[in-house]
Chains A and B, each alone.
Chain A
Amino acid sequence: MDPDERLRQLLRWKRWERPDGASWARFDVALQERRLRALVKESVRKRLLRLLHRVVRPGLAMAGMLGAAVVLTHLPSYSDGLAGPREMEFLLLTLEGEIDGLESELFSEADDGVCYVASSIPSGGNALLTAYHF
């Protein structure tokens, strides 16, 4: 017989190697357990992601606001160059464009050179009141 054909027959013979009925019963039980574990894992993962989304998004926005406040109050270039409520208003509008849902309001006291900015994110419910000296 052609060696190629014999090799094919031998490889096909391997199909006789099969699990018996008892193995399938064990297989089903183990698969069921894995499915349940995967289901629980997936649901925990989804919940964590939702929670993270709720907590981190407003937090990030607040961090952005704080960062902006630090830049505005401490960096000389900003203090020197943007010395007035108008420039502050422009910066807040830019921030609002970058941070989804951020709402801010500017209160200015022209005579003492202090600006108050109230910021909040409707979904997160956080609020921040910042005072800037010019």
Chain B
Amino acid sequence: MVDCLAVAHRRGVAEAGQEDGDAELVAAVQSGRMAAFDILVRRHRPRVVGVLYHLTGNREDAADLCQEAFVRALCHIHDFRGRSKFYTWLYRIAVNLALEQMRRRRLRSFYSLEQLASGAESDGVVLALASQLKTDKALLIKELQQQLNGALQELSPKHRTVVVLAEVEGLSMEEIGQVLGCSTGTVRSRLHYGKERLRSLLGRYLQS
């Protein structure tokens, strides 16, 4: 099941990253054909909402920021010159919005968990943990969702962003560097630190 999800996700990534398709759609929007923008929205919204949800830990905020990111992208579509892929440009807008919001709301954050798609309960890691911890699957899923989100929120925004983009979204170091406007060396070091911190926070689930 993990593989199915990974393949589906990678396919999503590949579809979203159809540079040619995206480039054509962006060119169409730049020439005033707004219907092309709707296609771009439909193509990229699941991933953008996903990233924003994992960053903020709040599904309402994620939807709100995602809408704002698309509106900003539309307003600045003429600034997009195609030097990077459209989705890295879009991620950059979305991530900057999220970081801005996190800075503003440093002292107050509300979490609201997203729904789990059907299939989450039969994922390999859940089956392995349920048998290892000898616990009920439904309870474990609930607990895992809370613990994972809680642990991610313990990271600083810049470490969280790199972990989410690399490990949850599957972006390459170069792509993350483009999104965040930093070197791949910086990305690697943030990822290393972020994962180290997560290992200490989620120790209970990582022991064999």
Contacts and interface: CB of A to CB of B under 8 A. Distances in A.
Interface stretch (B22-30, B43-51, B83-91, B176-184): B43-51
B205 interface: yes
A7 B199 CA distance: 7
B115 A20 contact: yes
A14 B63 contact: no
- A contacts with B: majority SS: helix
- B contacts with A: majority SS: helix
A26 B63 CA distance: 10
Nearest to A5: B206
A53 B41 CA distance: 36
Interface in B75-119: 75, 113-117, 119
B115 A11 contact: no
Interface stretch (A34-42, A69-77, A89-97, A121-129): A34-42
A13 B63 contact: no
B172 to A, nearest CB: 15
A37 B47 CA distance: 24
B131 to A, nearest CB: 12
A30 B148 contact: no
Of the candidates A6, A23, A24, A42, the one having the most CB atoms from chain B within 10 angstroms of its own CB is: A6
B202 A7 contact: yes
A38 to B, nearest CB: 5
Interface of A: 1, 3-4, 6-20, 23-24, 26-27, 30-31, 34-35, 38, 42
13 contacts: A6-B125, A6-B208, A9-B2, A10-B202, A12-B5, A13-B144, A17-B50, A17-B53, A17-B114, A17-B145, A19-B63, A20-B115, A38-B74
Interface of B: 2, 5-6, 9, 41, 45-46, 49-50, 53-54, 59, 63-64, 66-68, 70-71, 74-75, 113-117, 119-120, 123-126, 128, 144-145, 148, 163, 167-168, 195, 198-199, 202, 205-208
